Amino acid sequence: MVADRWFESVAVAQRRARRRLPRSVYRALVAGSERGATMDDNVAAFAELGLAPTVAGQPPSRELATTLMGQPISFPVVVSPTGVQAVHPDGEVAIARAAASRGVAAGLSSFASRPVEEVVAANPKTFFQLYWSGSRDDIARRIERARAAGCVGMIATLDWSFATARDWGSPYIPERLDVRAALRLAPEAIARPAWLWSYLRTGTLPELTVPNMAGPGQPAPSFFGAYGEWMQTPPPTWDDVAWMVATWRGPFMLKGVIRVDDAKRAVDAGVSAISVSNHGGNNLDGTPATVRALPAVARAVGDRVEVVLDGGVRRGSDVVKAMALGARAVMVGRAPLWGLAANGRAGVENVLDVLRAGIDSTLRGIGRSSVHELSEDDVVVPAGFFRQLG
C-alpha cells in the first residue's frame, strides 16, 4: 500500500471517494431515499450512545474473534452486499480479496457486477444475497448457482419497497454505455482522471450488467432489465421465505428485519440469522435507526437465531455499541465502498483495519477483554433512545 494513501478514518476515505469518483458514481453510493431521515438517523443514533471509560486494571489483550453463520471471523464485522458498479474495475473481487486478507466474511449482491464464481475464488467466506425476483424456478436457479460456486451462506434481502425518489435528486445511470451515454457522462469522467485511468489501464468500461441474476450458463441481464423483473414480482409470503430456507439448506440470513413480529416469524420460517437493517436508509424513509430497534429484536428471538446490526457503522466504537445492545456482529455497507473508491483493495483493507483497531481500543477504554462479554451496562443510553416496532 502506498503510505500516503493510508487513511485514518472512514470519514477521510469518504472525502477521498468524493474527490476521486465522477459525481454520478459518488451520488449513487451516498444513495438514501426521500428526505434522507433514516439514512441520517442510522449514523446519528450511534453518536447519541456514550461509553464509560476506566483508567487502570484493564485486560492487557482483547479477544475480537467470533463466528457468524458457522464461519469463524477474526473480528465481528461482515461486509454487507452492495452492487459496486463503476466504483472500481475490480469491484466485488477487490472487496472479497480484502475481506479474505483480514479474515472476515462478505455478502455478494444479486446486483453485483462480478460473477459469484470469481468472488468466491477470492474469498471462500462469501454469503450470496438474494432478492425475491422472478419465479421460484428463477430463484432456485440462482440459489443452485451460488451453491455450486461454493457460497457458505445465503442472505435474503426483503425490505425493498422501490421508494427511490430523493429530495436531492438521483444520479443519471445509463441503460448501457453507448455513445450517447458516454457523451453525457464524459465531462464528469474527464474531471476525475485517476478514476478514468483506473479503467483505461485495464482496458475495461464500468460493467452495467448483473451476471448473478442469470442461472448457470445464461447471459448476464442488464441492470435495468433485472430491476424491471424484480419490480414486477409480487412480494414474497412467509411461506416463500420458508421455501428459500428449505431450498438453500444451509446458514440463512433474513436481512431487513426491524420489527419484533417479523423477527419472530423469521424464526418460525427457519432462518439461522437476522440482520436488523433498513437497507442503509435507501428504502422506506422514516423508519428508525437500526440500533434503536436492535435490543427489542434481540430480546424477542433470544439465542434461537443470530442477530446482526446493519446500518450506520462507521467506526470500531459503533461495533462495540451494537454488540453491547445485543448484536453478535455488524455489517458495513458504505464504509468498504468508500475504501474501495479511495484506494481499491488496499482501501477496503484500510477500512477493515480502522474498524478492527477501533473495536480493540474501545474495549481497552471500557476495560473489557472480549467482544463476548459486552452488555447494555457498557453503553450510556439517553432516555427515549430505543424503539420497539411490532
Ligand X SMILES: Cc1cc2nc3c(=O)[nH]c(=O)nc-3n(C[C@H](O)[C@H](O)[C@H](O)COP(=O)(O)O)c2cc1C
**C-beta of 357: minimal distance to ligand X in Å?**
18
Question: What pairing do the DSSP bridges indicate for beta strands 71-73 and 66-68?
Answer: antiparallel
Whether 328 contacts 76, CB under 8 Å: yes
Give the separation between CA 116 and CA 250, rounded to whole angstroms.
17
Q: For residue 324, with 0-12 CB atoms within 10 Å meaning exposed, 13-18 middle and 19 or more buried, which class applies?
A: buried
Is 279 annotated in the active site?
yes
- Rank residues 76 and 333 by Cβ distance to ligand X and give the closer one: 333
Cα angle 184, 187, 193; round to 5: 130
Nearer CB in complex with ligand X: 81/366: 81
Residues that bind ligand X (CB under 6 A): 28-29, 31, 42, 80-83, 109, 111, 129, 157, 255, 277, 279-280, 282, 310-313, 332-335
> Closest approach of Cβ 336 to ligand X, in Å?
9
Burial class (CB in 10 A: 0-12, 13-18, 19+), 383: exposed
Contact between 233 and 134 under an 8 Å Cβ cutoff? The reply is yes
Q: How many CA atoms lie within 13 A of 273 on its CB side?
A: 29
**Grid coordinates belonging to 239:** 411461506
* 132 three-class SS: coil
Query: What type of residue sits at position 305?
Result: V
DSSP bridge pairs for 330: 77, 309
Alpha helices of the chain — where are they, by DSSP H? 10-20, 23-30, 37-48, 91-101, 116-122, 136-149, 179-190, 193-202, 223-231, 238-248, 260-269, 290-301, 316-324, 334-366
> Measured from the CB of residue 257, what is the shortest distance to ligand X in angstroms?
12
Asked whether the beta carbons of 42 and 278 are under 8 A apart, the reply is yes
Closest residue to ligand X in the complex (CB): 333
CA angle 148, 236, 238 (to 5 degrees): 95
CB of residue 109 vs ligand X: minimum separation in angstroms?
3
- Shortest spacing between CB 21 and ligand X, in angstroms: 12
Supply the minimum distance, in Å, between the C-beta of residue 344 and ligand X: 17
The active-site residue, picked from 27, 142, 259, 279, is: 279
When the beta carbons of 29 and 322 are compared against ligand X, the nearer one is 29
The DSSP-derived string for 296-310 is HHHHHHTTSSEEEEE
Query: In the complex, what is the shortest distance from the CB of residue 159 to ligand X, in angstroms, rounded to a whole number?
Result: 9
DSSP-assigned letter for residue 221: P
- Residue 157 or 362 with smaller CB distance to ligand X: 157
Beta bridge partner(s), residue 51 = 379
The residue (of 272 and 282) whose beta carbon lies closer to ligand X is: 282
Tell me which residues are annotated as active site: 279
